[in-house]
Structure 1
Amino acid sequence: MIVIPMAGRSQRFYDAGYDRPKFMLPLEGRSVFAHAVGSFAADFATRPFLFILPPGQAAADFVRAECLALGVGRADFVSLDGPTAGQAETVELGLGALGVSDPTPLTIFNIDTFRPGFVFPGPPLDGMAGWLEVFRGEGANWSYVRPGRGDRPVALETAEKKPISDLCCTGLYHFARAGDFRRALAAEREAPQAPELYVAPLYNHLIAAGAEVGYRLIARKEVIFCGTPAEYAALTSPA
């Protein structure tokens, strides 16, 4: 299941003068939503999607129409009543509302990130308890992975907004089982690693329990970010 949490308020965009949530904004003849979800076009016919939405009928109607236009084969929608304690809790609430079972694989992806031509990886990542997608970068606004030694792409540690390496997360997080995600989130609530319930730190609980977590390194040019007004403006500006 591909889970798209999009229950945030887009406050930075409203503060910058935009009149709608960022996922509704136009970009090159499509919406930001269409660019983000279009990352998974190869999976529209084979994988179920779950969209976790903010309150209000307008957002639900927009997302349903966009999914129909894109050709998403199976899409479920959950509208939340209000803000959450972070992206991980948003996902938890969506899974619970839909009744997603513990064995279900989860791939969580940001609504403001584009991965044109994305294809799910094969071995060894598809046999691990989870994996994150990363690129080489720097800065204090990313999630990070600390890699192990050797050729095997194994994560020793993850962190939110703490540069523990040069491997920055793209915002794509995979868990082999929804039950692992839920148990890791329960453990995170007992010992929070960040002010909010982010997804990336949850992997530390899997690693501590002896599970193998991996990462996939991609080139920076393979991912496009549209999460801030400045990033959006750069994408809409003439070359």
Structure 2
Amino acid sequence: MAIIITMAGEGKRARKMFNTNLPKFEIKINNKSFFDRTLSSLKALRSELFIFVINNDEYEKIVQKACQQNGYKNFKIITILGKTSGQATTAYYALEMIPKNEHVFIFNIDTQVENLIIPNNLENFDGWVLSTKVSGNRWSFVKEQNHLLTEIIEKRPISDLGTIGLYYFKTAGQFKEIYDKYNSLVLNENGEAYIAPFYKFMIQRNYKVLVTTIDRKYVYFLDDPIDLERLRDDEKT
């Protein structure tokens, strides 16, 4: 199993919200960085291989120090040059470090999750999307039936469930094959290589994608003003 953490985005929304030029993962809330909050969220997977994709060599020491402080010992860092077309493309660079039959998780750097539970039956599915109740239209929205994904789309509310940014693919080889075949379509439809739209093509091919839901109180989108206020209030108590 490998967990890919994508850290090469520009982070425009977060940097504007916090009025800073710091890279997104270094921004702090209550003296705890986005990056530390990401690592804390995934502590249930701490013993697995983590691959951090960055776009500046200067960030490597920051990543190493944070991993050591949070008890992450099995990790690799890959540095890419320049801007990618989106999170899926950033994650794609990490595949060279992962055997093609290994399970793959992909997570962003701007979501904090508490009480994360990984389903124990993922072996039975080709993918997994973790969702929560959302409002507004900035999310990757999902529909499901009997916990199986039936529809997924960017920025158009087809339900009140949005992905939290944690994605699972049964194998690295599967993700690579899906990306290679459909990335141009995802870019044409969305203007950016988001992760979620690739599941649309998976379910068109009758792949089984599990959808589970986590209570909204356990999820904080760190670049969302309402969630930021809620997090600050919750950490006072």
The reply to whether TM is greater than 0.5 is: yes
Please tell me whether the aligned partners of residues 3 and 50 of structure 1 are also in contact (alpha carbons under 8 angstroms). yes
Please tell me whether the aligned partners of residues 127 and 168 of structure 2 are also in contact (alpha carbons under 8 angstroms). yes
Q: Distance in 2 between matches of 1:28 and 1:15?
A: 18
TM-score by length of 2: 0.89
Q: 3-state SS of the aligned residue for 1:94?
A: helix
Equivalent residue number for residue 216 of structure 1: 212
TM-score by length of 1: 0.88
Q: 3-state SS of the aligned residue for 1:191?
A: helix
Q: 3-state SS of the aligned residue for 1:197?
A: coil
Equivalent residue number for residue 115 of structure 1: 113
Q: 3-state SS of the aligned residue for 1:211?
A: coil
Equivalent residue number for residue 206 of structure 1: 202
Equivalent residue number for residue 133 of structure 1: 130
CA shift, 1:211, in A, is 1.1
Structure 2: state its 5+ residue gaps: none
Corresponding letter in the other structure for 2:131: V
Q: 3-state SS of the aligned residue for 1:214?
A: strand
Pairing 1:177–2:171 present? yes
Q: 3-state SS of the aligned residue for 1:33?
A: helix
Match of 1:144 among 141, 144, 165: 141
Pairing 1:82–2:82 present? yes
Judged with a 3 Å threshold, the aligned counterparts in structure 2 of structure 1 residues 93 and 229 are, in CA distance, closer, same or farther, namely farther
Q: 3-state SS of the aligned residue for 1:78?
A: strand
Equivalent residue number for residue 159 of structure 1: 153
CA shift, 1:196, in A, is 0.7
Please tell me whether the aligned partners of residues 135 and 170 of structure 1 are also in contact (alpha carbons under 8 angstroms). yes
CA shift, 1:208, in A, is 1.3
Please tell me whether the aligned partners of residues 41 and 117 of structure 1 are also in contact (alpha carbons under 8 angstroms). no
Please tell me whether the aligned partners of residues 24 and 33 of structure 1 are also in contact (alpha carbons under 8 angstroms). yes
CA shift, 1:41, in A, is 1.3
Corresponding letter in the other structure for 1:60: E
Corresponding letter in the other structure for 2:148: V
CA shift, 1:10, in A, is 2.5
CA shift, 1:179, in A, is 1.4
Between the two proteins, the alignment pairs up a number of residues equal to: 231
Q: CA RMSD in A?
A: 2.0
Q: 3-state SS of the aligned residue for 1:103?
A: coil
Match of 1:36 among 10, 33, 38: 38
Describe how 1:46-125 pairs up with structure 2 within 5 A. 47-57=48-58, 59-96=59-96, 98=97, 100-123=98-121, 125=122
Q: Distance in 1 between matches of 2:229 and 2:7?
A: 20
CA shift, 1:184, in A, is 1.4
